[in-house]
């Protein structure tokens, strides 16, 4: 028997595979698919498999626990942990062939010490801070630091990278960061220390700054078919992977002057048909004016205060219980996409998708 739900998310895996193949083709370089935060709420294991099928050479995560899950599910491609790791995690990373970020003297000493105990080198990518102000050494320190790592022993430097702060915009910092990183790369090259994998470009830079591509691009948004900027469509051919649906719980006629929702924030001005949808801010929507849903191929306004588990919508006529409601996606000739909600809520698209609660089941579409 097929299980049904009041609300659910559909993830189109062939779309992710196609998006990855297109990124590789259009950038002419290797791809690291970024799947941190459970692939921004899409499901890290499933998205990773689809990305690898599309040609991704690497996967990127924020924490070692995320890499562990991928390894436990049989994913064997190289994985880079972009953030901090604990001493115990270094031991596990060694055992599971996960690459770590080397970003200061303390991580150098930690990795060298754990490698000595394990009698196996720690695979690392050196992080260079070119203007993000988070992890990393300064560009002018790269050669000296790489030599320190060599001298310490137990560290195999397989890559080096940096991260752009404002790649989505025309900003002078972009060129400055690129110059700083290029300085470090050339210094490493001149010293015979350049590693095989040099990477700088995120989603925006991969498309807008071809000089930042180097050996590989790190892409998250576009892998999932999300826009780089909410106000600028992706090039033709990229497909959004996420659709969010629900079933209509109720549709009934309320008299004029009837309050709807907490705080009586909405009161019917005359007889109105009000629908109830089992989706609320506990699922990941935000309490912002201007929310809409799609029913019958038409966009309808959410009225009243958004509840934890439900929302109310003004309808032109009665719809039966179980009628399909689209929160994100296309229905008929109408559409509401992640970028529409991100623009409404004034947040990033991955801010929205990452915070869609896990109580909303993910259904994976494996055939186009």
Q: Which of 36, 40, 238, 245 is catalytic?
A: 36
Which residues have C-beta within 8 Å of that of residue 214, sequence separation ≥ 6? 29, 185, 198, 199, 200, 201
Distance CA 261, CA 309 (A): 12
Burial class of 190 by CB neighbour count within 10 A (0 to 12, 13 to 18, 19+): exposed
Distance CA 182, CA 176 (A): 10
User: Are 363 and 9 a contacting pair, CB within 8 Å?
Assistant: yes
Which DSSP symbol is given to 223?
Answer: G
Q: Which of 120, 127, 161, 262 is catalytic?
A: 262
**How many helices (H) and strands (E) are present in the chain, helices listed first?**
11, 20
Catalytic annotation present for 36: yes
Q: What are phi and psi of 310, to 5 degrees?
A: -145, 160
Burial class of 72 by CB neighbour count within 10 A (0 to 12, 13 to 18, 19+): exposed
Show which residues are catalytic: 36, 262
């Amino acid at each position: 028997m097929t299980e049904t739900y009041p609300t659910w998310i559909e993830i189109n895996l062939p779309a992710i595979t196609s998006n990855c193949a297109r990124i590789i083709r259009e950038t002419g370089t290797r791809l690291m698919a970024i799947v941190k935060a459970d692939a921004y709420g899409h499901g890290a294991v499933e998205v990773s498999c689809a990305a690898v099928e599309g040609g991704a050479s690497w996967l990127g995560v924020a924490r070692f626990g995320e890499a562990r899950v991928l390894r436990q599910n049989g994913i064997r491609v190289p994985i880079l942990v972009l953030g901090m790791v604990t001493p115990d995690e270094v031991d596990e990373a060694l055992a599971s062939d996960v690459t770590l970020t080397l970003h200061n003297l303390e991580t150098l000493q930690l990795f060298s010490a754990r490698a000595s105990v394990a009698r196996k080198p720690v695979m690392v990518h050196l992080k260079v801070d070119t203007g993000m102000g988070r992890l990393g050494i300064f560009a002018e320190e790269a050669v000296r630091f790489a030599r320190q790592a060599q001298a310490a022993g137990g560290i195999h430097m397989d890559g080096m990278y940096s991260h752009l702060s404002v790649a989505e915009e025309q900003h002078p910092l972009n060129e400055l960061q690129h110059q700083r990183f290029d300085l470090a790369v050339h210094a490493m090259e001149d010293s015979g220390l350049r590693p095989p994998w040099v990477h700088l470009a995120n989603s925006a830079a991969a498309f807008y700054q071809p000089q930042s591509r180097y050996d590989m691009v790190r892409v998250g948004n576009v892998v999932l078919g999300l826009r780089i900027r909410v106000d600028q469509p992706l090039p033709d051919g990229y497909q959004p992977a996420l659709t969010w649906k629900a079933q209509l719980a109720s549709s009934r006629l309320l008299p004029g002057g009837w309050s709807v929702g907490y705080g009586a924030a909405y009161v019917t001005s005359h007889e109105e048909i009000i629908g109830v949808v089992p989706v609320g801010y506990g699922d990941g929507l935000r309490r912002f004016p201007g929310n809409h849903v799609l029913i019958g191929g038409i966009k309808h306004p959410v009225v009243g205060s958004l509840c934890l588990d439900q929302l109310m919508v003004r309808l032109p006529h009665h719809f039966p219980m179980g009628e399909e409601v689209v929160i994100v996606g296309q229905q008929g000739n109408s559409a509401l996409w992640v970028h529409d909600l991100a623009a409404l809520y004034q947040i990033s698209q991955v801010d929205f998708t990452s915070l869609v609660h896990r109580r909303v089941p993910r259904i994976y579409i494996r055939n186009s």
